[in-house]
Amino acid sequence: MQTETHFEDIQSRIIEKLHSAEENIRVAVAWFTDKEIIEQLEEIALRGVKIEIIISDNEINRNVDFSPLEQKGIKIDYFPVKGYGTMHHKFCIVDNKLVITGSYNWTVNAKSNNGENIHIVTDEGSINQYIEKFKDLKNQILGIPVEKTEVASEPEQSEIEKKTSEIEEDFAEEWNIYLNSKVSNYDKASLEKEGKTAAENTHGNPDVISNKMNKIYQSIIEDTEVDKKEIERLRVRLENKIDNYQNIHQQEAEEKKATVGLSTEAQRRTLTLRIQNSEEQIKKLENNKNNILNNKIPDSENKIPLYEMEIEEAKLDLTPPPLRRRVWLEAGILILLTGYLFLFYSSIIYTILYGREDAMNYMAIYGKLPEMEIFNSEALTLAFERGWSTVIFISFFTILPIVFGFLFHGIKKKWIIRYSYLLAAVVLDGLLAYLIAKNVYLIDYQAGMESDPWEWQKVFHIARFWIVLVLGAVPYLAWGALFEHINSQLDNKSRNVLHFRIKKTIEILKEKIGKVKDQIEQFKQDVTDLDNQIIAENSNILQCNIDINHLEYEQKMRFDKIQQDLNLLQQKLGNQRDKILAYLDSDQVPVSKNIFKERVTTFMSGWEDWLYSYYNNELADDKFAEAQDEVEKWTNETFRNAK
């Protein structure tokens, strides 16, 4: 028998052999819950491989979803039908070329448990037995009666017959050796001539053969000399041999019983280990189940009210989004106004600081005063000629009105402080207008264009004062209005972003609630799966206990079978003893069959010579065959009766 045995990586071995199928797969297993093997069978079925499955009709198997297999045309049969008991087979036939069998159930638990094994059998005789067993299971499902046969007992019976035959041959050989030693020599040429003469006288008539055989048989008896003392010694020797055989068989029976006992104990230990593994696995599964029920599910359920509370709080902050509007144009105008104010005030500051000096220098060169303008377009250029400190100083005073405007429009709550910045800006603008008017008036006065000395009241009558005041204040107020308008739009945009941010937060919280609910459902499914695994482990424990109880019965049956075989052998040895004693006690000692065949062969040699000398070959062949048949017939009858 060709067999592979595996104790590790069993699932992958099974899947590997299943994928080798080209025509058909037949499965008979007690439990089948391994989803990975189910998926592999789906793929194999798509290749056109015919698959038949028989599983035990129990709660575990009924809870497995086999619909994907059934959709691929795979027939799932549940065993038993009422009246046949529980099925515990664990074998699979692939293409009628190999069988996978052993202790391994096709379950997730079996994959993780220790103490499992499979055998991959390729012996044709064994495969045929499994095929017949699968057919029997199918017939039982269909309600067809199946005749129970004990296939395993036949080889044992053949072994008994073989041993008995060997003993008989041993005794016969020793008996023949003794008889051969007591038969005197004969004249071979004379006996051959006698055969030739008998054939010639009867023209090869086979009817006279029996008389000739009687004569040869009688001649052997007459030529045999028997010594009573030697017969007695032979009796003792053969009886001792029988006693020795009986002792050997008794010892073999005891060894077989010891082997059965050890095998039973090993199986009991294996089953006990499986029970312990299942009990430990149940504890782990129960702990996982309790952790889910007592911790994970309550923790997840507690998260939902918290998320719902956050959603309600977020809804309180949720307001309708303001209308969105672009501020590109206002921003551009604000930039232009900022540039205008910078250029305008830098010109004013430069004129105040250096206007009179530049006018005097101009007069010294050209003999006359330059025409003084309100806006000096060369103010920044002239400031750069005077150095970076001049530019920085002018820029600082230029930025002051813009800073006051920013602070005025930026402060919303404290109105006193806010309007103080506005007042400061107006005072600054008025002061600059006053200084410009005064400075220009003094230049004109120095040049003789004005006759009255400067008095501050004159400022209200000078056009430059009002022009500077208006050209500074109006753009400044416009700049402030634009700045506040842009700020308002930016605030609206911020509120718009906040609105959508709150909505997104609410969506995220709702998604979290959905995920938590899905997680709770998954936890519940995990609990169901754990319950199924616990049921499977309890079923395994129950089955192991049943198997342990069955081991005692099976051991007793095997002991009884060994004892029955021993008794049968001892009985046959006793019969052999009686037969030998009957030989030895007989007044006429039996003829040695070997000696008889030797003399018959000599006689028939002469018979054959005459036939081929007288008849043609074809007729001689027929005549000699008829004579040989008569010889065989007479020999069998005579020596059978002698027994």
Tens-place pLDDT, residues 3-58: 788 888 888 899 999 999 999 999 999 888 888 899 999 999 999 899 999 998 87
pLDDT of residue 152: 36
User: What span, in angstroms and rounded, lies between the C-alpha atoms of 71 and 258?
Assistant: 52
For the entire predicted model, the pTM comes to: 0.37
Closest CA to 9 of 94, 114, 80, 85: 114
User: What single DSSP character describes residue 224?
Assistant: B
pLDDT of residue 253: 86
The distance of Cα 366 from the centroid of its chain, to the nearest Å, equals 105
Instruction: Quickly name the fold that domain 3-149 has.
Output: Endonuclease; Chain A (3.30.870)
Query: Is residue 116 within 8 Å of 110, Cβ to Cβ?
Result: yes
User: What span, in angstroms and rounded, lies between the C-alpha atoms of 404 and 419?
Assistant: 10
Contacts of 496 (CB under 8 A, 6+ apart): 321, 322, 324
Burial of 600 (0-12, 13-18, 19+ CB in 10 A): buried
pLDDT of residue 282: 92
The distance of Cα 306 from the centroid of its chain, to the nearest Å, equals 39
Query: Is residue 614 within 8 Å of 204, Cβ to Cβ?
Result: yes
Q: Which tokens go with 293? A: 């029920």
- Domains of the chain: which residue ranges? 3-149
Q: Which tokens go with 177? A: 């050796």
Closest CA to 366 of 442, 445, 441, 447: 447
**SS3 state of residue 92:** strand
Instruction: Give exposure, 115-134, as e/b (b: 16+ Cβ within 10 Å).
Output: bbebbbbeeeebbeebeebb
Query: Which residue has tokens 């020999």?
Result: 635
Contacts of 238 (CB under 8 A, 6+ apart): 171, 174, 175, 577, 580
pLDDT of residue 153: 37
Closest CA to 607 of 193, 192, 196: 196
Q: Which residues of the chain have pLDDT under 70?
A: 1-2, 59, 81-86, 108-115, 144-184, 225-227, 317-327, 367, 369-377, 397, 400-425, 447-448, 469, 472-474, 476-477, 480-481, 485, 488-499, 580, 583-590, 641-643
Query: Is residue 352 within 8 Å of 439, Cβ to Cβ?
Result: yes
User: What span, in angstroms and rounded, lies between the C-alpha atoms of 104 and 244?
Assistant: 45
Quickly list H helices, 47-102.
59-62, 67-71
pLDDT of residue 149: 40
Query: Which residue has tokens 């004013």?
Result: 348
**SS3 state of residue 126:** helix
R_g of the chain computed on alpha carbons: 62
Quickly list H helices, 586-616.
593-614
Query: What is the C-alpha end-to-end distance of the chain, expressed in Å?
Result: 39
Contacts of 216 (CB under 8 A, 6+ apart): 191, 596, 599, 600, 603
| Ramachandran angles phi, psi of 589, nearest 5° | -70, 130
E strands in 80-175: 90-94, 98-102, 118-121
